[in-house]
A and B are shown apart, each in its own frame.
Chain A
Amino acid sequence: MATLAKPHAASRVGPLATRKHINSAAKYIALTLFTLTWLLPIFATLLTSVRTMDDITLHGFWSLPSKFAIENFRNAWVAARVRQYLLNSFIITIPSLLGMLFLASLSAYALARFKFRGNLLIYFMYVAGTMLPFQILLLPVFRLTNRLGLYDTYGALILIHIAFQLGFCTFVMRNFMRTVPGEILDAARVDGCGEFRIYWQIMLPLSLPSLAALATLEFTWVFNDFLWALILLQSDSLRPVTAGLATLQGQYVTDWPLITAGALLATLPTVFVFVFLQRYFIQGLTLGSGK
């Protein structure tokens, strides 16, 4: 039997291996093409950010810069006030993040761990809230902030970000917290914890993987928000970097090198946060407990 099967198998190894090679080569080519297409805008931005306006007028966007103009970045940072805009972005993003993670983890703990009437209903309302297209909220929220005297303050943006992301954060954390073994919480109860301490000292540390994942995502979302900032802010001095960059666009002439340099500076924090927190996120996933 074995002697019969051997030559048969050997004869098939050749073509099979070649086909495998062709297959993987095709995959690589396709993936490289996709990646290049994906990177094209960034490449164009990079290219534009280091040339002068005159250079663009003379040679167009798709050509090698005749002169390397690194001062665009300095101009963007100081003259175009990207420094101030970035600072504003952080002033808005960080309290929003802390607020939404704290409130969402509290409600997620209650929804994940307590049996009470209406638990599921509240949970579904959170989930439904995330499905609401925020465009239909623009006008009501604008009028609400006006009425509350919050219009054109950091507070308006921070509050709307917290409120709007709470549903998604609660949804993610509630499902994560349900995977924490109940006996650990019971052990803490017997050890002498009240419910808030269980949340704070046991549940929250054990939810670190989900917190880190959410923090990464939400940082990107809030930091990159443009529309709410456009609607709820008027003063240039309060604008986050997304809305700030938009003001650099002139009605007749636009300083493309300045804007692209500013845009690149604006992406740095998100890139940094993502790279840094993603490692943390993967580490956190290997938390071991129980048996």
Chain B
Amino acid sequence: MASVTYRNVTKRWGDVVAVKNLSIEIPDGEFLVFVGPSGCGKSTSLRMLAGLEEVTEGEILIGDRVVNNVAPKDRDIAMVFQSYALYPHMTVYDNMAFGLRLRRTPKQVIDERVREVAASLGIENLLDRRPRQLSGGQRQRVAVGRAIVREPAVFLLDEPLSNLDAKLRVEARAFISKLHQRLGTTFIYVTHDQVEAMTMGQRIAVLRAGELMQIDTPTNLYDHPANVFVAGFIGSPAMNFFDNSELKEVDGKMVVDTGLFQIPVPSTRIETYRPHLGKRVIFGIRPENIAHPDYQPANVEPAMVEANVDVVEEMGNEKIVYLEEGGKTFLARFDPRADVHVGERINVVLNLYNMQLFDQETEQALQ
């Protein structure tokens, strides 16, 4: 059990900066997810913590101890790899016992622990097999088993679900969340999949090009993204953005003028946005906040606009509708009962309680 601290950590490969001045404090027992597109430095951050990459600048602490120059084996961590990285020449039992044997754990203790962990993961009948005789899902469990048998202070997972098929992935997500609840150990999890991040993380660190964009709880990231990147990365389908809008006053009322529509700013936000009057802004609104007039949720501040229906995707539980207005396409999630047809011109309701405004220049959220 230990906390983890990144203190101004930078990683450079020659001239390429992989991680830029990363500072994060992860309290003991937290499930933290690093998420971002490929090449954003999330895996590098994890591998530096594991001791598999050297830190160029800054410090990494596990508990109170600076581990920059500590060998991986002495960091009291365990890791699950994307390819599982099971030892192909060893049985499942030996794969799980390997780390314990290296620590000179008594044979009997090893046997007890391996069998106990195997039973808890439902792989006790596979102990004599070799990795190549296992299915993908089984290998994934063995990889997790090999890590938890060691009872590490910190548990690192590097895209452990990306080699599973869609159905298994959903199961494995719940399985890992439960595992975290049961063990109570610090989990640090790397993924490029925002759904995994949202469903599993207690906090999520969003990275782009080696820089920390925002770190917060899933709901805060979703409802209060700090910048355009986070707003667009979290949530699927992605948030709609209207570039080059203007925040101004018309007839004493504050509105966002996107060039296509004039949208009244909800009363709760007026004070927040007042200092930014006259600025060029990016207006953001999530597809689920654009509703069909017949099925609009209650207790919101709606704004009605008109648009053409371009494409309708039937999802069963909802309709994803591509709307078009003045050459600009934006997406809406409609109630499945909504009666929309391609080519129609319809009224849609923007629910503004969760609208976002970002500075056009800095792309940071207006606060």
Chain A residues with a Cβ under 8 A of chain B: 181, 183-184, 186-194, 197, 202, 205-206, 208, 287-291
Contacts and interface: CB of A to CB of B under 8 A. Distances in A.
Interface residues of B, number: 32
A184 B103 contact: no
Contacts of B102: 191-193, 197
A291 B83 contact: yes
B131 A289 contact: yes
Nearest to A287: B88
B50 interface: yes
A193 B102 CA distance: 7
A206 B79 contact: no
A206 B73 contact: no
Given A192-B102, A202-B87, A289 B132 contact: yes
Interface string B129-141: 0111000100100
B63 interface: no
Given A187-B81, A190-B79, A291-B163, A205 B99 contact: no
Contact of B87 (A184, A189, A197): A184
A190 B77 CA distance: 7
Interface string B110-144: 00000000000000000000111000100100000
B88 A189 contact: no
Contacts of B83: 181, 183, 290-291
Interface of B: 47, 50-52, 71-73, 77-79, 81-89, 98-99, 102-103, 130-132, 136, 139, 146, 150, 156, 163
A244 to B, nearest CB: 41
A205 B50 CA distance: 25
B132 to A, nearest CB: 3
A181 B99 contact: no
A186 B86 CA distance: 11
A206 B88 contact: yes
B87 A187 contact: yes
Nearest to A290: B83
Given A187-B85, A191-B98, A291-B84, 9 more contacts: A186-B81, A188-B98, A189-B52, A194-B71, A197-B102, A208-B89, A288-B130, A288-B132, A291-B83
A277 to B, nearest CB: 18
A190 B51 CA distance: 8
Nearest to A186: B52
Contacts of B51: 189-190
Most chain B CB atoms below 10 A, which of A188, A190, A194, A287 = A190
A202 B90 CA distance: 10
A166 B156 CA distance: 40
Given A184-B87, A206-B89, A289-B131, A191 B99 contact: yes
A205 B73 contact: no
A193 B103 CA distance: 10
B73 A291 contact: no
Contacts of B72: 189-190
A50 B89 CA distance: 48
B115 to A, nearest CB: 19
A194 B103 CA distance: 12
A181 B85 contact: yes
